[in-house]
Amino acid sequence: MLVLQLLKKFGGFLNSTTARAGRPPEKVAPGRTANPKAGPGAPHRRAPVNIVREQFAASIVLVLGISLSAVGFLTAQQYFKSGEQQEFERQAAHYIQTVVNSVQIYEEYVLDLAHEFEGSTPLDRWQFNDYAGPRLKRNQGLLALAWIPFVSAGRRGEFEEKAHDDGLPGFRIREQGETGGLIDAGLRDFYLPVYYALPFDQDREFLGVDLYSLDEFRSALEAAGEGGHPVVIPWSQHGNSRPASTEFQIIRPVYDSTGSADIGAPRKQRLKGFVAGALKLDTIIESVVDELTTPAWLDIYVYRRQESVDTDLLLFRPSEMRAEQADPLSRAKIADGLFNRQSFAIGDMDLTVVVKPVDTKYSFESSILPYWVGSFGLLLTLFTAYSLAATQNRARVIEQTVTERTTALSDANISLHNEILERQRAEMEMRRAKDQAEVANRAKSEFLAMVSHELRTPLNAIIGFSDIMSQEVFGPVTNKKYKGYVGDISKSGNHLLGLINNILDLSKVESGRFGLSEQTVSLSDGISETLRLVSELAKAGDVYMDYTEPRDLPDLRGDKQAIRQILLNLLSNAIKFTEPNGHVRIDANLDRSGQLVLAIEDTGIGIPEESIDSIFEPFTQVDSSLSRQFEGTGLGLPLTRSLVELHDGSVDLESSLGKGTKVTVIFPRDRVVNATTH
């Protein structure tokens, strides 16, 4: 496809350059076109045969160049593929051999331990610990080592007494009972108890157990004792239900090789016992893989091999490059493409190790090197043909193109420069307007805070003196009208003080000087306390309050006074704008995400849809005849939203004119103490 596209472009170029540079334009009579069948303005076209004849040298260069480019592409692709295959074979063989050698080293630990017991002076308990302890500590894939002596029925008592003297008090030969527990072994011709074992803490309960009495060991012990070769069986500690597929143990027989032994006797008669070692295949391979550099792009498979056929997949370790896609490939996909395998044996168990590179490591089709070779050849061919066909014409066309593009770039540069200047001016204006707005807002907040603070002092005196007069501390007020006036003064003073406090709190929030005194707050207690405060207001307005305290409502982490102010503002607003015989409902619960949701819904006058967006602006009220019956400055909802946002929450308002209003306050999950979702 790439070659065809390049040829099409080159053919069009030859057509245009030949018309311009090969011969002068044909003279055409005024009012007529060069091609009578073409319309006015149609370009003059020449036959492809004439183009090839006139550009014979360029055509030869083009054909030869395309042929050489194709040969170079195929040669580079084959060379690249051969090199990749050789690299894979070399690294895969080294990788597999390293894995096999490491596994066989663990098998040699068991075989070396067996040689220690074959001599005339076998290892005692402490020598066994000195041999096995460092190897278990140094090799994580070696799970356990044990010595299982052959004990005849006549030597049972002597053997158990020797075990007591050897640091194993209470040692006795045991077997598995019918109920699954361990009991003293019955009378038999011989026993094969576990005597030495490390790790000792994990295998302590297994000491003294006659392995020959267990079904899973009997056949393996007989095969190893009579055949004289190691036997591999799945490994499980006593009491475990099922062994892991990658954990197995090697049982190696130990025979008497001293001069006093009857060499001609059957192996079973010369048997001294067995050495057992538990191995964990995946841990062994993991330790090997972590030390190599190539496994980052190689997957490893380990199969059990029976009758020259790979049967069970014992282990699959994906490479780091495809760790997220950890499913093993099928055998058909493994055999498709590059892979390497090697079979080996541990005892009487045959294993096969297979390594497979990830798809992206060796992708010969997508390799860019052959395409670079082919593309370079084609480009070189087209360039040579182009030079032969239009050397003179190219300079003129390039010069004209450069002049046109320089002019266009100059115009574009001037336009861009003007646009940059305009944007800089607009940005300066925006920054100046923003600074002015911030200064004005800060001045407003500071002015409100100052005025509110200055008004508090005379108001406190007015409220205090009016309370003294209403309580007649210094004598009775004889005129009842004066006494009523004193009550009005106290009520108006308290109302004005509440208004000043709201203004002061709002100005603190806007100026960023309102600090939260955080503590654990009970929202249920806050709602109950606020309901008691507004009960008189609800009773006076003949408004019914509906609230059922939820069970197990968690506490909040926040400012107790601020949360009380939120509840008081929302409930007093709901009661104030609800007509007689109306309802105000309070709900509080946790949502599915663990956020605490407080909803206050009334059946009041509602808010027009066009006024909902501005209701949270300070000093804004709904223009309603009913709302004008109550005092208010429009600071309750703005202050409420500011206090909620200081608690990282949000306020949502839903309303319809004449149908009521619902205000929902949401506190985030991290503000809820011991939040649980429902």
Which residues have C-beta within 8 Å of that of residue 644, sequence separation ≥ 6? 566, 650, 651, 665, 667
Q: Which domain holds residue 310?
A: 293-357
pLDDT tens track for 113-164: 888 888 778 788 888 889 888 988 888 888 889 999 999 988 988 888 888 8
Eight-class DSSP state of 22:
I
The SS3 of residue 30 is coil
Average pLDDT value for residue range 218-241: 75
Domain CATH code at residue 551: 3.30.565.10
Segment 64-88 mean pLDDT: 73
274 within some domain: yes
User: Which one is predicted more confidently, 664 or 268?
Assistant: 664
**pLDDT value of residue 38:** 43
Same-domain check for residues 480 and 539:
no
Binned at pLDDT 50, 70 and 90, residue 54 comes out as: low
Query: 499 and 524: one domain?
Result: no
SS (H, E, C) 617-647: CCCCCCCCCCHHHCCCCCCHHHHHHHHHHHC
Return the minimum-mean-pLDDT range out of 55-69, 115-129, 188-202, 272-286: 55-69
85 in any annotated domain: no
Whether 497 and 463 have beta carbons less than 8 Å apart is answered as yes
| CB-count burial class (<10 Å; 0-12, 13-18, 19+) for 659 | exposed
Would you state the pLDDT for residue 312?
81
Q: Which pLDDT tens digit goes with each residue over 77-111?
A: 666 666 667 777 788 888 888 888 888 888 888 88
Out of 404-408, 422-426, 488-492, 575-579, which region has the weakest mean confidence (pLDDT)? 488-492
- Which pLDDT belongs to residue 666? 94
Average pLDDT over the chain, rounded to whole? 77
Q: Average pLDDT of 671-675? A: 80
pLDDT digits (tens, 9 = 90+) for 215-229: 888 888 888 888 888
- Separation between Cα atoms, residue 181 and residue 280, nearest integer Å: 27
Lowest mean pLDDT among 17-31, 260-274, 557-571, 575-589: 17-31
The Cα 272–Cα 228 span in angstroms is 12
Same domain as 548, residue 438: no
Q: How many CB atoms lie within 10 A of CB 666?
A: 19
Look at residue 99 in the predicted model and tell me its pLDDT.
85
* Whether 221 and 251 share a structural domain: yes
In-domain check, residue 27: no
Q: What is residue 7's predicted lDDT score, i.e. its pLDDT?
A: 44
- Express each pLDDT in 493-516 by its tens digit: 766 766 677 676 666 666 666 677
Of 568, 615, 591, nearest to 666 by C-alpha is 591
The answer to whether residues 572 and 485 belong to one domain is no
488 shares its domain with 574: no
Residue 404 tokens read as: 């046109």
Rounded CA gap, 65 and 376, in Å?
A: 10
Task: Indicate if the pLDDT at residue 299 is higher than 80.
Answer: yes
Q: How confident is the model at residue 358 (pLDDT cuts 50, 70, 90)?
A: confident
- Of the candidates 514, 530, 557, which is a domain's last residue? 514
Helices (H), 308-367: 331-335
- What is the reported pTM? 0.43
Q: Could you tell me if residue 329 is inside a domain?
A: yes
Domain of 491: which CATH number? Answer: 1.10.287
34-43, 193-202, 273-282, 383-392: which is most confident: 273-282
Instruction: Report the pLDDT value the prediction gives residue 228, as an integer from 0 to 100.
Output: 83
**260 in the same domain as 128:** yes
Asked, for residue 19, whether it belongs to a domain, the answer is: no
**For residue 45, is it within any domain?**
no
* Sign of the torsion formed by the C-alpha atoms of 552, 553, 559 and 563: negative
Query: Helix (H, G, I), strand (E, B), or coil: what is residue 141?
Result: coil
Question: Same structural domain for residues 552 and 633?
Answer: yes
- Which residues lie below 8 Å from residue 599, measured CB to CB, with a gap of 6+? 585, 586, 587, 588, 662, 663, 664, 665
Report, as an integer, the average pLDDT of 593-620: 82
Single out the residue in 272, 287, 302 at which a domain terminates: 287
Q: Which of 287, 304, 327 is the last residue of a domain?
A: 287
In a domain, 266, yes or no: yes
Counted domains in the chain: 4
| SS (HEC) of 515-548 | CCCEEEECHHHHHHHHHHHHHHHHHHCCCEEEEC
Q: Is the predicted pLDDT of residue 292 greater than 60, yes or no?
A: yes
H or E element at residue 227: helix 215-227
Higher pLDDT, 147 or 471: 147
Amino acid in position 387: S
Q: Do residue 259 and residue 305 come from a single domain?
A: no
Note whether 535 and 663 are same-domain residues.
yes
Tokens describing residue 502? 């709201």
pLDDT of residue 668: 93
pLDDT at 420: 93
641 with 549, same domain: the answer is: yes
250 shares a domain with 109: yes
The verdict on residue 366 lying in a domain is no
**Any bridge partners for residue 231, and if so which?**
251
Q: What percent of the chain has pLDDT over 90?
A: 12
> Is pLDDT of 537 > 60?
yes
Which candidate, 599, 605, 612, 609, places its Cα nearest to that of 582? Answer: 605
pLDDT at 371 over 80: no
Report the C-alpha gap between 480 and 475 in whole angstroms.
14
What is the enclosing helix (H) or strand (E) of 315?
A: strand 309-317
Above 50 in pLDDT, residue 30?
A: no
pLDDT at residue 47 tops 60: no
pLDDT at residue 473 greater than cutoff 50? yes
Structure tokens at 289: 């893989």
From residue 222, alpha-carbon distances to 186, 217, 225, 277, 350 in Å are 19, 9, 5, 17, 20
